[in-house]
Amino acid sequence: MGLGGFELLKPAGAMASLLLKPFNSSLRLLTLQRLTRSLTNAPDEKKCEDLLDKKPIFIHPTAVVHPGAILGQGVSIGPFCTVGSYAKVGNACQLYPGSHIFGDTELGDNCTVLTGAIVGEDLPGRTTIGCNNIIGHHAVIGVKCQDMKYKPGDECFLDIGDNNDIREYTSIHRSSKSSERTVIGDNNLIMGSCHIAHDCKVGNNNIFANNTLFAGHVVVEDYTHTAGAIVVHQFCHIGSFSFIGGGSVVSQDVPRYMMVSGERAELRGLNLEGLRRCGFSAEEIKSMRKAYQKIFIPKDAKLGGIEDRLKELEHNEELSSFPVIRSMVQSIRDSFDETRRGICKFRHWSGS
């Protein structure tokens, strides 16, 4: 037995030593012939070939791997790593020195856990991570939330999709109760020292710059981009294709396609550069600029409140024919639901 009740898994016997060495085809066949002759009840040559074709598992002698852990083919576990009893590590995953997998945690195929990272915790519930993810140095993923309403013993969950790059010192917490989940989608770049709190819902293809901090229950849609050192208040919604300027404190919703910035973040216009980079046509962007002006910079000051302007826009045959305009209107309107926080205040900016 190894440290803390864990067993140090080492290659055992002649078969294991064969699995850890490269073979050319002739030497492989000769070894198989001798092996099948010398062992009683040995598998046939085809089964031995299949076994040798599987990618070997490498476990450094100083790693502590519980015998109950499930390891896929080609897993590499470096020095001083820990893999707990309920962990499932997918094919071709790499655990760099000093990284740790705890609790009921599942890593998909081709994940990389860099030095000092901690994934999962021995709590009721589960941490599920998809394929092709990178967990950065000293990141802490899938641990207990910091919500005072959390009750010890409650199940809590974290689901992360595929192809995410989660950089150094980032923290992502599990949900605060069994009926909720913290969810991260696919293809997100989460830069160093970011924090995603309990029960957040993050979509796909987002870029969060260093020190982006999301409080609990924040919803982030797709293709958003934050600059560094921003803070988002709990329960806020960040709409798709939006941009948050550096150093901003976001305390209300950011509608789709828009840009906000400021110590108390205010609307500064459309995220024009982001829209162009994401492939929106010149015609779509032109229509969005007209719609934005009608909503936030109306020529007729007597037009009424924002709801009246949204209704007028919906009856505008030219603009309402664009799906992006309908999406913009719906995003703004949803933010005024009684369960939501409204939208960031408007400040005129000539960029839109």
Q: Which residue has better confidence, 24 or 258? A: 258
Q: Is 46 helix (H, G, I), strand (E, B) or coil?
A: helix
Residue whose entry in the numeric block shows the structure tokens 């999301």: 214
Dihedral sign, Cα of residue 142, residue 146, residue 149, residue 150:
positive
pLDDT over 60 at 13, yes or no: no
Range with the poorest average pLDDT among 41-55, 66-80, 151-165, 236-250: 41-55
pLDDT score, position 346 = 85
Tokens matching residue 316: 């505008």
Residue 342 has pLDDT above 80, yes or no: yes
Hey, which residues does 156 pair with through a beta bridge? 125
**pTM of model > 0.75:** yes
Query: 237 or 20, which is more confident?
Result: 237
Residue pLDDT, tens place only, 31-43: 333 333 333 344 4
Select from 269, 255, 265, 187 the least CA-distant residue to 232: 265
CA 112 vs CA 54, 183, 222, 283, 299: distances in Å: 20, 19, 24, 42, 55
Environment class of residue 151 by beta-carbon count within 10 Å: exposed (0-12), middle (13-18) or buried (19+)? exposed
**Ranges 37-41, 223-227, 267-271: which has the least confidence:** 37-41
Provide mean pLDDT across the span 92-103.
Answer: 98
Q: For the segment 157-166, what is each residue's pLDDT rounded down to a tens digit? A: 999 999 999 9
Helix (H, G, I), strand (E, B) or coil at 136: coil
Q: In this model, does residue 348 exceed pLDDT 70?
A: no
Write down the pLDDT at residue 299: 79
CB 184 within 8 A of CB 160: yes
> Which domains occur in the chain, in start order?
58-220 (2.160.10.10), 277-335 (1.20.1180.10)
**Residues with a known catalytic role:** 198-199, 216
Residue at token pair 């099948």: 36
* Residue 138: C-alpha distances to residues 108, 169, 211, 241, 304 (Å): 20, 5, 15, 30, 53
